[in-house]
Amino acid sequence: MEIKILGTGCPNCLALEKRVRQVVDKNNVEADITLVKDIMDIMSYNVMSTPALVIDEEVKVRGRVPKEEEILQLLVK
Amino acid sequence: MFDWLQSISDYLVFNAFGLSRDSHLAEAIHFFIYDSIKILLLLFVVVFIMGIINSYFPIERVRNYLTSRRLYGLEYLMASLFGTVTPFCSCSSVPLFIGFVSGGIPLGVTFSFLITSPLVNEVAVGLFIGLFGFKTTLIYVVSGVLLGTLAGIILQAFGLEKYLTPWVKEILAKAQKEQTTFIQEQQDFKQRLPVIWHEAIKIIKGILPYLLIGIAVGGLMHGYVPEGFFEKYMGKDNWFAVPVSTLLAVPMYSNASGILPVVQVLVAKGIPLGTAIAFMMGVVGLSLPEAMLLKKVMTWKLIAIFFGTVTVCIIISGYLFNLIL
């Protein structure tokens, strides 16, 4: 599974990255996590409210930091 | 609407705390209890409703709307209106800016959105209703929308594209009115509700300390500063009160929720509403952190022109309010 976190480096973006890593570690999810900081790469997902969570090239969450349970739900689906 | 709250505050201050009705201390404490609860309730309702609207109408949809339709000059007004319902986080201002201009939305229209989005945001509106009532809030919102519209049109007329940073200019050259398909998160209301609720609580929690301090300071002033105290220094006939308060307000931001309750007391003690509204627009609408972030996409000159134009518009509306209110 490929997880991308889109964000220009604001506190919320870093918070999302940290939380995703926690969820992935805790539940032994097989995943590559990358933080996408380049604004043009972010735009290619048509995302304008950061942070955004992209799983297998599909934007799942934008503009907020979801709770751990929600992230887990998105990952196992 | 808030009679029950009045009774509770009365009971607490005069019966439970046993304070005398004429003491300044009682008045200050009464003000604090009544105002904090009332404002928090209204604030939560507004933030929650805006959260619902935003969940169904995210910024990506706004952009698609603005790029895909011919609006014959109305696009400034539309951008400004959309700005009111999108919550503004200054950390999103750069992706937002790039998203707009790369979609072929004119710079002036982008500015209209960028001005109104922080100026008329859910927290400011919630605080306004709680502190000044619905009528003043309506005036603030309508003038905020008009201000965003007009400033956008003015900024467009300046032809400012040359003052963007080089990499943004490149994007601008490649800009196309491509219709990106926006896939709405497929969720029903029941699934959205907990998320919206959670976000609303988070917003309120974030501003709570500032708000309570602001109301406490306001409460103290309310009890101790005599009526009409400021009229002498900042009355309507004092023509430089509006520009001075606007200029003071521009650099302030994170403490907006702490400043508004104090301003309310200032108005009660004789500062004209127009001067106060100009001050609050400066506090809420323009901020230094936003300027620092916009540096990525704009040269200092452009930021200065942008802030300058908005400041002048705010000052003018301050004068207008003092004239008509």
Whether residues A48 and B92 touch (CB distance < 8 A) is answered with yes
Mean pLDDT of B155-169: 91
Name the band, by pLDDT with cuts 50, 70 and 90, for residue A34: very high
Interface of A with B in 43-62 (CB under 8 A): 43, 46-50, 59-62
Mean pLDDT of B74-103: 84
Whether residues A48 and B199 touch (CB distance < 8 A) is answered with no
Q: Does A10 touch chain B (CB under 8 A)?
A: yes
Q: What are the sequence ranges of the domains in chain A?
A: 2-76
Domain presence at residue B179: no
Whether residues A39 and B95 touch (CB distance < 8 A) is answered with yes
Q: Which residues of A touch B171 (CB under 8 A)?
A: 40
Name the band, by pLDDT with cuts 50, 70 and 90, for residue B90: low
Mean pLDDT of A53-63: 89
Whether residues B95 and A62 touch (CB distance < 8 A) is answered with no
Q: Does A64 touch chain B (CB under 8 A)?
A: yes
Q: Does B104 touch chain A (CB under 8 A)?
A: no
* pLDDT of residue B3 exceeding 90: no
Neighbours of B312 (CB within 10 A): 14
Domain presence at residue B211: yes
* Residue A25 to residue A18: CA distance in whole angstroms: 11
Please provide the size of chain A in residues: 77
Q: Which residues have C-beta within 8 Å of that of residue B124, sequence separation ≥ 6? A: B140, B256, B260, B280, B284
Indicate the residue of A8, A42, A63 with minimum beta-carbon distance to B58.
Answer: A63
pLDDT-above-90 percentage for chain A? 35
CB of B45 closer than 8 Å to CB of B201: no
* pLDDT of residue A10 exceeding 80: no
Name the band, by pLDDT with cuts 50, 70 and 90, for residue B175: confident
The DSSP secondary-structure symbol of B161 reads: G
Closest CA to B219 of B262, B259, B257: B262
Tell me how many domains chain B contains. Answer: 1
Domain presence at residue B1: no
Domain presence at residue B184: no
* Residue A3 to residue A34: CA distance in whole angstroms: 6
Check residue B325 and give its pLDDT. Answer: 74
Whether residues B60 and A47 touch (CB distance < 8 A) is answered with yes
Whether residues A50 and B171 touch (CB distance < 8 A) is answered with no
* pLDDT of residue B179 exceeding 60: no
| Longest CA–CA separation in chain A, Å | 32
Burial of residue B250, with CB atoms counted within 10 A of its CB: 0-12 exposed, 13-18 middle, 19 or more buried: buried
Residue A10 in tokens: 């604001």
Higher pLDDT, B277 or A8: B277
pLDDT-above-70 percentage for chain B? 93
CATH number of A2-76, picked from 2.102.10.10, 3.30.420.40, 3.40.190.290, 3.40.30.10: 3.40.30.10
Which residue of chain B is at minimal alpha-carbon distance from A69?
B195
Whether residues B95 and A47 touch (CB distance < 8 A) is answered with yes
* pLDDT of residue B157 exceeding 90: yes
* Residue B196 to residue B199: CA distance in whole angstroms: 5
Tokens 């409703």 -> residue? B49
Name the band, by pLDDT with cuts 50, 70 and 90, for residue B254: low
Distances (CA, A) of B310 to A24, B122, B204, B250: 46, 20, 28, 10
Name the band, by pLDDT with cuts 50, 70 and 90, for residue B186: low
Q: Does A21 touch chain B (CB under 8 A)?
A: no
Name the band, by pLDDT with cuts 50, 70 and 90, for residue B309: very high
Span of A18-22, B90-94, B99-103, B153-157 with lowest mean pLDDT: B90-94
* Residue B18 to residue B11: CA distance in whole angstroms: 9
The residues facing B164 across adjacent strands are: B298
Higher pLDDT, B20 or B306: B306
Q: Does B102 touch chain A (CB under 8 A)?
A: yes
Name the band, by pLDDT with cuts 50, 70 and 90, for residue B16: confident
Check residue A65 and give its pLDDT. Answer: 87
Whether residues A12 and B91 touch (CB distance < 8 A) is answered with yes
Most confident range (mean pLDDT) of B96-100, B180-184, B188-192, B301-305 is B301-305
Check residue A55 and give its pLDDT. Answer: 92
Domain presence at residue B127: yes
Span of B36-50, B153-167, B238-252 with lowest mean pLDDT: B238-252
Indicate the residue of A39, A64, A66 with minimum beta-carbon distance to B98.
Answer: A39
Domain presence at residue B299: yes
Mean pLDDT, chain B, as a whole number? 85
Whether residues A63 and B92 touch (CB distance < 8 A) is answered with yes
* Residue B276 to residue A27: CA distance in whole angstroms: 54
A-interface mutation test, from B53, B54, B60, most A Cβ less than 10 A away: B60
Name the band, by pLDDT with cuts 50, 70 and 90, for residue B267: confident
Check residue B184 and give its pLDDT. Answer: 59
Which residue of chain B is at minimal alpha-carbon distance from A41?
B95
Q: Which residues of A touch B95 (CB under 8 A)?
A: 8, 39, 42-43, 47-50
